[in-house]
């Protein structure tokens, strides 16, 4: 770590290292934006983990500027007290508290704000749609004042740096970009005009707070849409904004039409925006913060050494493991619970209205899932070395129990093993390594190649039996399903390079889509068959978008509303839901149609008098996140 833990200064601020937690929506606030105890604890834990600065999630400067309920707000004096609680805990843990000022513009819904969203022009949000109301000049000036008012409140609440959110398709970005700003007046027309709203906001904040207060600006340096911002145009815009008074730039990307560049899925490279940050840093000669899939301290350090950033933003990385900075500084790299860019955090916000993490089940549950020592030491037998079983084992062992884990195969990981076989999901191996490290650290005795039956349970005679025996693949009842050219998905996700063969993949769920992409990446012509109207059901939206784009780019043919009826040595006959038959040539047929619970051991031991628990797929097929959460919860109550 040559540079990551070196100090840095920005005006009067002293950064103890180069790690910043950027603003990430937590959805831990009340519906009206009031700060809760859960939100305070969330920020305290992130600050305690060792970053130099924690920037609180986007704080709306105006009621119609919120993009969702539960968003932080700073548009009224009544929010100052709650925000002060956040700054106090961040500062008490040794980090600098900062805040981000935000207005959603057209990227919200009238259902949320009770009126038409404001926008620079009449163009609606491409993601949300719906009518918008172009801002008048008087309306623009009123919003500039509101940003100034919010800045004063932020300073009063104890924030020591402010960031103005000019990225990700929100209002200021909408003004900056020709993609969303087609105004013909002084707030559009040309680059100077499109920069005017942001410039006036910065000047207003400067007027209110003075020249010594540190001020950041977040920009989507590239929008990746026709007519959108490029790095070169962003540099020209930023030169205007530097003159207006910004001290540092956070370089992001994407807008409401390209969310994959805002919250990059695992298919995208680590630090994929760092080159843009370097171009801006070199052109402006002011500090930059780089963001975007920086989940590894070694990657972060390299960016600093190569001059691509002055500070590195680790957002999802600190959701996955709030102690990442501390562990990296101490050289405990194997103890880092690494973010795998699965975007579960994003999916949970939209589906559940709260942030959750696949690898870190305690996110948003910090107090209720604290690990406390067991009152009585028990002998615990865990059967199944998948992610749920491993989490239950190490948590129980950390609490003081004597834990033995039995796995019928020669390695731990369960379905994570085939799941991590493709290059784009290789980071899943980090989760296996983390769990194995925790089991070794807390003394779990691991027994590989041990298939457990009721007699083995009786011989071990534990106080508690935890069954995490997983699920078995389900094959559809199709003529020819037993043919030699028919393989389970695990046979092609085995770590070896699959031979190039014309392939039909049966099942267009997440696994089927990933198998199809993997085989197409290796050069195989692939056809994907799914009975439902669409493929990818169950995939997080951003991940799904990128994966389907990749399938299309690789020439994968997709047949929806079709089911296989017959498999032969040279292909698959499928029929549509209207009865139309079609023959698909194939040398290889891969089945990815789901699993069913392995309940055999449970049925055998449930009447033997032991305290028995089941977790994960052996109850019913479920997600990796749910299996880990169940294991983590069980380990805490045994």
pLDDT in tens, 32-41: 999 999 999 9
Residues 443 and 496 both lie in one domain: no
pLDDT in tens, 284-335: 999 999 999 999 999 999 999 999 999 999 999 999 999 999 999 999 999 9
Residue 234 falls inside a structural domain: yes
In terms of Cα–Cα distance, which of 556, 581, 366, 382 is closest to 462? 382
Residues 153 and 43 both lie in one domain: yes
Instruction: Please give the Cα distance from 407 to 436 (Å, whole number).
Output: 13
Residue 401 falls inside a structural domain: yes
For 553, counting Cβ atoms within 10 Å of its Cβ (0-12 exposed, 13-18 middle, 19+ buried), the class is exposed
Residues 205 and 241 both lie in one domain: yes
In this predicted structure, the answer to whether residue 120 has a pLDDT above a threshold of 90 is yes
| Rg (alpha carbons) of the chain, rounded to whole number | 26
* CATH code of the domain containing 569: 3.50.50.60
Domain end marker among 317, 352, 387: 352
pLDDT in tens, 597-609: 788 888 888 889 8
Instruction: Please give the Cα distance from 310 to 270 (Å, whole number).
Output: 17
CB of 21 closer than 8 Å to CB of 33: no
Identify the bridge partners of residue 381 per DSSP, sorted by sequence position.
404, 465
CA 130, chain centre distance (Å): 27
Residue 195 falls inside a structural domain: yes
- DSSP assignment, residue 105? T
Residues 570 and 465 both lie in one domain: no
Q: What is the average per-residue pLDDT within 256-264?
A: 94
Whole-Å CA distances, 390 to 99, 362, 402, 416, 512 = 38, 16, 14, 12, 26
Instruction: Please give the Cα distance from 15 to 7 (Å, whole number).
Output: 5
Residues 292 and 247 both lie in one domain: yes
CB of 173 closer than 8 Å to CB of 67: no
CB of 542 closer than 8 Å to CB of 346: yes
In this predicted structure, the answer to whether residue 621 has a pLDDT above a threshold of 70 is no
pLDDT in tens, 520-550: 999 999 999 999 999 999 888 999 999 999 9
Residues 387 and 508 both lie in one domain: no
Residue 479 falls inside a structural domain: no
Indicate the number of domains in the chain: 3
Better-scored residue on pLDDT, 617 or 175: 175
Active site residues per annotation: 170
pTM: 0.92
Residue 361 falls inside a structural domain: no
For 211, counting Cβ atoms within 10 Å of its Cβ (0-12 exposed, 13-18 middle, 19+ buried), the class is exposed
State residue 620's pLDDT score: 64
Instruction: Please give the Cα distance from 39 to 60 (Å, whole number).
Output: 16
Domain that holds residue 277: 8-352
């Amino acid at each position: 770590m040559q540079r990551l833990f070196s100090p840095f200064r920005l005006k009067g601020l002293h950064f103890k290292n180069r790690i910043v937690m950027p603003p990430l929506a937590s959805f831990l606030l009340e519906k009206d934006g009031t700060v809760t105890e859960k939100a305070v604890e969330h920020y305290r834990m992130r600050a305690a983990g060792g970053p130099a600065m924690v920037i609180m999630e986007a704080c709306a400067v105006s009621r119609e500027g919120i993009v969702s309920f539960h968003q932080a707000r700073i548009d009224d004096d009544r929010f100052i007290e709650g925000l002060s609680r956040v700054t106090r805990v961040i500062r008490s843990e040794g980090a600098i508290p900062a805040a981000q000022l935000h207005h959603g513009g057209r990227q919200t819904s009238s259902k949320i704000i009770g009126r038409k969203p404001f926008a620079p022009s009449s163009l609606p949000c491409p993601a949300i749609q719906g009518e918008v109301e172009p801002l008048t000049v008087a309306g623009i000036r009123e919003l500039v004042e509101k940003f100034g008012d919010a800045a004063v409140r932020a300073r009063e609440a104890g924030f020591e740096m402010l960031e103005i959110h000019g990225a990700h398709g929100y209002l200021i970005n909408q003004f900056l970009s020709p993609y969303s700003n087609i105004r013909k007046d002084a707030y559009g027309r040309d680059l100077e005009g499109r920069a005017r709203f942001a410039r006036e906001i910065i000047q207003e904040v400067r007027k209110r707070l003075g020249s010594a207060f540190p001020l950041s600006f977040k920009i989507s340096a590239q929008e990746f849409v026709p007519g959108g911002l490029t790095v070169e145009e962003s540099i020209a815009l930023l030169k205007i904004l530097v003159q207006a008074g910004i001290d540092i730039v956070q370089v992001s990307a994407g807008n409401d039409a390209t969310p994959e560049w805002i919250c990059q899925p695992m298919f995208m490279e680590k630090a994929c925006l760092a080159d843009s940050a370097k171009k801006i840093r070199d052109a402006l000669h002011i500090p930059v913060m780089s963001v975007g899939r920086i989940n590894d301290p070694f990657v972060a350090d390299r960016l600093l050494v190569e001059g691509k950033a002055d500070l590195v933003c680790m957002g999802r990385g600190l959701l996955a493991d709030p102690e990442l900075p501390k562990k990296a500084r101490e050289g405990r790299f194997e103890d880092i619970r690494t973010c795998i860019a699965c975007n579960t955090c994003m999916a949970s916000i939209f589906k559940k209205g709260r942030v959750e993490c696949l690898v870190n089940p305690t996110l948003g549950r910090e107090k209720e899932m604290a690990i406390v020592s067991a009152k009585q030491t028990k002998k615990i037998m865990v059967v199944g070395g998948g992610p749920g079983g491993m989490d239950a084992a190490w948590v129980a062992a950390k609490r003081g129990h004597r834990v033995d884990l039995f796995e019928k195969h020669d390695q731990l990981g369960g379905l994570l093993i085939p799941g991590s076989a493709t290059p784009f999901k290789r980071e899943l191996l980090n989760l296996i390594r983390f769990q194995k490290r925790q089991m070794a650290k807390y003394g779990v005795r691991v027994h590989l190649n041990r298939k457990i039956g009721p007699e083995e349970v009786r011989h071990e005679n534990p106080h508690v039996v935890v069954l995490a025996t997983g699920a078995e693949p389900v094959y559809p009842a199709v003529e020819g399903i037993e043919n030699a050219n028919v393989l389970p998905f695990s046979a092609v996700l085995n770590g070896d390079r699959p031979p190039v063969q014309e392939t039909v993949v049966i099942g267009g769920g997440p696994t089927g889509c990933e198998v199809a992409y993997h085989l197409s990446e290796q050069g195989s012509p692939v056809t994907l068959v799914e009975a439902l109207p669409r493929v990818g059901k169950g995939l997080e939206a951003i991940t799904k978008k990128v994966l389907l784009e990749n399938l299309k780019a690789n020439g994968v043919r997709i047949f929806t509303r079709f089911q296989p009826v017959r498999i032969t040595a040279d292909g698959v006959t499928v029929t549509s839901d209207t009865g139309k038959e079609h023959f698909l040539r194939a040398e290889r047929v891969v089945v990815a149609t789901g699993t069913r619970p392995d309940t055999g051991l449970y049925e055998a031991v449930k009447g033997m008098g032991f305290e028995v628990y089941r977790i994960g797929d052996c109850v019913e097929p479920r997600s990796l996140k749910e299996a880990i959460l169940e294991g983590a919860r069980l380990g805490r109550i045994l």
